[in-house]
C-alpha cells in the first residue's frame, strides 16, 4: 500500500486530494494535512471585503468531504519535510494541541499556497501595518469592518482617499485587487457616497490590464483589442484614477511611498488602502538524512518548490522558450515530490520586468490563479496515481498550453452588477505555436464585459463549491 501526503487544502491541494481519493483512495492511503479545517473559496472574499457576502458562505468543513472520498485528514500545520530515501516524512504541529505529528510518505504533494510576505514591506498589512488585505478570510473580514467604518465617516460628509492595488514592486494577484477596487466603487455608488471618495489604482503592472500575464489580447471582427484599452475604459467610466509602473517602497500611517519606472519617488496619501503583498513560498524546513539543510535542492530563494522547469533563463530568452515552463510539477532532485498551485516555482515572470535607475525591480510575479492551481493539482494527482498503478506518468500540462478563464467581478448584483470575462489561451504566451507578437491564440482568447459576467461569477461560486464538496458530477465540472 502506497502512502500519499498532500500539504494544504486549497485550490491545488484539495483538487489533488479529491482526484487521489477517487482514483486510489480505497487501496492506498491518501492523507491531507492542512492548518485550516475548512476549504476557503478565495474568489468570493472580494465580496466579503465590501460586506456583500457573509464569510461563512465562502467556507465549508473538509473532513466530511474527505471521509466520503477515502482521504484521511490531519488538522495540523506542516513545518518540516524530510525527503531523503528510506525515511521520508513530513512533520507538523497539530492545531489546538500543538502536538507534533509525523506523516510518512511514498509520494508528497506540496500545495500550501503563498506566505503573505507583509514583513517584506515596512508598514504593509493589517497586523503590523497600515493597509488592508483580502488574501485570507480573517483579513477580508477586518477589511470589511474598516471599509464599513469608512463609509460611516463618508455618510457624515467626510471626503476620503482610497488606494487599492499592489503593495510590493514584485507583487502578483492584481486581478483580485482589480475586482476589489471596482466592487468598492459599485458599493459606494449604491450607498450614494461615491462623490465622497477619490479612488486610485496603484499598481506595479507595466500597463493597466496587464495582470501579470502580459495583458490579454483578442481579435474581434478583424480588430485587435487589448485588455489595456478595455480596462482603461473601465477605470475612466468609473472615475477611478490609475497609476501603474509603480512599486510601493514603504507604508506609513495614511501614506504609501513609491518609486516609478522613471525612478521618481513619491508619496500617496490614503484614508483606506488595500494593497496585495508579495507572495513567497511557505517557510518549511527541508532536512536531509543527516539533519543537514537541503533547501537548495527543494526550493528557490523565495521558498517556491523547484520542479521540472528550466530556471535561470533571462527574460528575453524565457519569453521565446515555452518548454521552460514545467509540465509535471515534479521536483528534479526528489522524483516523488510534486508541487501544485502557488507553491511551485515558475521559471520567471510572464510580464516584462523592469528595473529603474535606482535599481528597483518593478516586475509583477506570474499569477497562478485558482483555475491554474486546480489544473496543476489534477495533473499531479493523476500522475501519482499513474506511478502507483502503472509505474509511469501519462499526464502533463504546462501553463504554455493551459486555457484559463477568469471572471473579474465588478459588482455582485444580478440586476445591475457587471464583470469582465477573460479567456486566455494559453496562460503563458507560446510564441512558437502562436506566431504573433503576443504568443496567444487570438481567436479563442476572449474579453467581454456585461451583466452576464456577474451571472457567471455567481454561478461559479455555487458550481465550484459543489465541485469542491465532491457532490455528484464533480469531475465533469472543469477546474
Partner 1 sequence: MQTSQEFSKAEKFWMNFKLYQFWRFIVLNLKILAAVYQSKRS
Ligand X SMILES: Cc1cc2nc3c(=O)[nH]c(=O)nc-3n(C[C@H](O)[C@H](O)[C@H](O)COP(=O)(O)OP(=O)(O)OC[C@H]3O[C@@H](n4cnc5c(N)ncnc54)[C@H](O)[C@@H]3O)c2cc1C
Closest CB to partner 1 among 42 and 379?
Answer: 379
Establish if 278 lies at the interface with ligand X (CB under 6 A). Answer: no
Query: Which residues lie below 8 Å from residue 189, measured CB to CB, with a gap of 6+?
Result: none
CB of 202 to partner 1, least distance (A): 11
Name the helix (H) or strand (E) containing 63.
helix 63-68
SS3 assignment, position 383: helix
Residue 389 binds partner 1 (CB under 8 A): no
Binds 237: which of partner 1, ligand X, none (CB < 5-8 Å by kind) = partner 1
Which x/- pattern, by CB under 8 A, does the window 69-88 give for partner 1?
Answer: --------------------
Number of H helices, E strands in the chain: 10, 26
Q: Residue 415 CB, nearest distance to ligand X (Å)?
A: 21
b vs e for 20-33, b when ≥16 Cβ sit within 10 Å of the residue's Cβ?
bbbbbbeebbbbbb
Task: Give which of ligand X, partner 1, none residue 46 binds (C-beta under 5 to 8 Å, depending on kind).
Answer: ligand X
Name which of 273 and 418 has its Cβ closer to partner 1.
418
Residue 242 grid cell: 490609475
Among 192, 416, 436, 462, binds partner 1 (CB under 8 A): 416
Q: What is the CA radius of gyration of the chain?
A: 22
The Cα–Cα gap between 30 and 24 comes to: 8
* 369 lies in the binding site for ligand X (CB under 6 A): yes
Nearest partner of 183 among 234, 245, 118, judged by Cα: 234
Question: Do 79 and 92 contact (CB within 8 A), yes or no?
Answer: yes
Contacts with partner 1 by CB under 8 A: the residue count is: 38
Dihedral Cα 17, 19, 24, 28, nearest 10 deg: -10
373 lies in the binding site for partner 1 (CB under 8 A): no
Smallest separation (angstroms) from ligand X to the CB of 35: 4
CA-based nearest residue to 49, from 122, 119, 167, 136: 136
406 contributes a contact to ligand X by CB under 6 A: yes
Which residues, 126 to 145, sit near ligand X by CB under 6 A? 134-135
**Touching partner 1, residues 230-289 (CB under 8 A):** 232-234, 236-237, 241-245
60-63 contacts, C-beta under 8 A, 24 or more apart: 60/465, 60/468, 60/469, 61/37, 62/9, 62/14, 62/32, 62/34, 62/37, 62/38, 63/37
Give whichever of 14 and 226 is closer to partner 1, judged by the CB atom: 226
Residue entry with cell 527541508: 286
Q: Which residue of 5, 11, 21, 24 would you call a contact of ligand X, by CB under 6 A?
A: 11
- The reply on whether position 379 binds partner 1 by CB under 8 A is yes
Smaller CB separation from ligand X, 33 or 299: 33
Q: Which of residues 418-447 bind partner 1 (CB under 8 A)?
A: 418, 421, 423, 425, 444, 446
Among 42, 240, 318, 454, binds ligand X (CB under 6 A): 42
- Rounded to the nearest whole angstrom, what is the least distance from the CB of residue 421 to partner 1 in the complex? 5
Is 113 a binding residue for ligand X by CB under 6 A? The answer is: yes
Report the phi/psi class of residue 402: left, alpha or beta, with left for phi > 0 and alpha for psi in -120 to 50.
beta
Choose the contact partner of 36 out of partner 1, ligand X, none; CB within 5 to 8 A by kind.
Answer: ligand X
Q: Minimal distance in Å, beta carbon 432 to partner 1?
A: 16
Q: 394-397: long-range contacts at Cβ-Cβ below 8 A with a sequence spacing of 24 or more? A: 395/328, 396/327, 396/328, 397/327
Cα dihedral sign, 374-375-376-379: positive
Selected from 80, 84, 93, 229, the binder of partner 1 by CB under 8 A is 229
- Please answer whether residues 299 and 281 qualify as being in contact, where contact means their C-beta atoms are separated by less than 8 angstroms: yes
DSSP 315-377: HHHHTT-GGGS-SS-B-SSSTTEEE-GGGB--SS-SSPPEE-TTS-EE-PPPP--HHHHHHHH
| Span of 232-240, 246-254, 291-299, 335-343 interacting with ligand X by CB under 6 A | 335-343
| Chain residues 145-174 in contact with ligand X, contact rule CB under 6 A | 173
- Residue 381 binds partner 1 (CB under 8 A): no
Interaction of residue 403 with partner 1, rule CB under 8 A: yes
Looking at the DSSP assignment, which residues form a beta bridge with residue 355?
361
234, three cell numbers: 473601465
Q: Shortest Cβ distance from residue 479 to partner 1 (Å)?
A: 8
Identified binder of partner 1 from the candidate list 455, 465, 466, 469, rule CB under 8 A: 455
Closest CA to 366 of 415, 333, 332, 400: 400
- Residue 303: CB minimum distance to partner 1, A: 29
In the complex, which residues of this chain contact ligand X (CB under 6 A)?
7-13, 33-36, 42-43, 45-46, 77-78, 111-113, 134-135, 173, 176, 282, 341-343, 368-371, 373, 406
Amino acid at each position: 500500500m502506497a502512502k500519499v501526503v498532500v500539504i494544504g487544502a486549497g485550490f491545488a491541494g484539495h483538487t489533488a486530494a479529491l482526484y487521489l481519493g477517487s482514483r486510489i483512495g480505497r487501496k492506498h492511503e491518501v492523507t491531507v494535512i492542512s492548518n485550516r479545517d475548512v476549504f476557503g473559496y478565495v474568489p468570493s472574499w472580494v465580496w466579503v471585503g465590501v460586506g456583500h457576502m457573509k464569510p461563512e458562505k465562502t467556507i465549508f468543513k473538509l473532513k466530511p468531504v474527505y471521509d466520503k472520498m477515502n482521504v484521511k485528514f490531519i488538522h495540523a500545520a506542516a513545518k518540516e519535510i524530510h525527503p531523503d530515501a528510506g525515511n521520508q516524512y513530513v512533520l507538523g504541529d497539530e492545531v489546538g494541541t500543538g502536538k507534533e505529528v509525523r506523516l510518512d510518505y511514498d509520494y508528497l504533494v506540496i500545495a500550501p499556497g503563498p506566505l503573505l510576505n507583509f514583513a517584506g514591506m515596512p508598514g504593509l498589512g493589517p497586523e503590523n501595518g497600515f493597509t488592508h488585505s483580502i488574501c485570507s478570510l480573517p483579513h477580508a473580514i477586518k477589511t470589511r469592518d474598516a471599509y464599513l467604518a469608512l463609509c460611516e465617516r463618508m455618510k457624515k460628509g467626510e471626503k476620503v482617499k482610497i488606494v487599492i492595488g499592489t503593495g510590493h514592486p514584485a507583487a502578483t494577484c492584481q486581478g483580485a485587487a482589480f475586482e476589489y477596487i471596482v466592487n468598492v466603487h459599485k458599493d459606494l455608488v449604491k450607498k450614494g457616497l461615491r462623490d465622497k471618495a477619490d479612488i486610485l489604482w496603484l499598481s506595479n503592472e507595466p500597463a493597466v490590464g496587464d495582470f501579470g500575464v502580459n495583458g490579454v489580447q483578442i481579435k474581434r471582427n478583424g480588430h485587435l483589442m487589448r485588455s489595456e484599452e478595455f480596462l482603461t475604459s473601465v477605470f475612466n467610466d468609473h472615475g477611478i484614477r490609475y497609476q501603474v509602473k509603480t512599486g510601493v517602497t514603504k507604508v506609513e500611517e495614511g501614506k504609501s511611498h513609491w518609486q516609478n519606472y522613471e525612478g521618481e519617488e513619491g508619496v500617496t496619501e490614503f484614508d483606506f488602502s488595500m494593497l496585495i503583498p508579495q507572495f513567497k513560498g511557505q517557510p518549511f524546513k527541508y532536512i536531509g538524512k543527516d539533519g543537514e539543510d537541503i533547501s537548495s535542492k527543494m526550493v528557490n530563494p523565495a521558498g517556491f518548490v523547484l520542479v521540472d522547469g528550466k530556471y535561470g533563463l533571462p527574460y528575453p530568452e524565457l519569453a521565446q522558450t515555452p518548454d521552460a515552463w514545467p509540465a509535471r510539477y515534479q521536483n528534479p532532485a526528489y522524483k516523488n515530490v510534486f508541487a501544485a498551485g502557488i507553491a511551485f516555482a515558475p521559471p520567471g515572470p510572464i510580464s516584462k520586468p523592469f528595473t529603474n535607475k535606482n535599481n528597483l525591480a518593478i516586475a509583477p510575479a506570474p499569477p497562478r490563479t485558482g483555475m491554474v492551481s486546480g489544473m496543476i493539482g489534477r495533473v499531479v494527482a493523476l500522475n501519482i496515481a499513474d506511478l502507483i498503478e502503472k509505474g509511469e506518468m501519462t499526464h502533463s500540462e504546462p501553463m504554455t498550453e493551459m486555457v484559463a478563464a477568469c471572471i473579474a467581478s465588478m459588482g455582485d448584483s444580478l440586476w445591475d452588477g457587471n464583470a469582465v470575462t477573460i479567456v486566455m489561451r494559453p496562460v503563458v504566451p507560446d510564441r512558437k505555436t502562436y506566431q504573433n507578437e503576443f504568443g496567444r491564440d487570438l481567436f479563442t482568447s476572449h474579453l467581454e464585459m456585461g451583466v452576464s459576467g456577474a451571472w457567471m461569477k455567481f454561478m461559479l461560486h455555487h458550481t465550484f463549491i459543489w465541485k469542491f464538496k465532491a457532490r455528484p458530477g464533480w469531475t465533469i465540472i472543469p477546474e
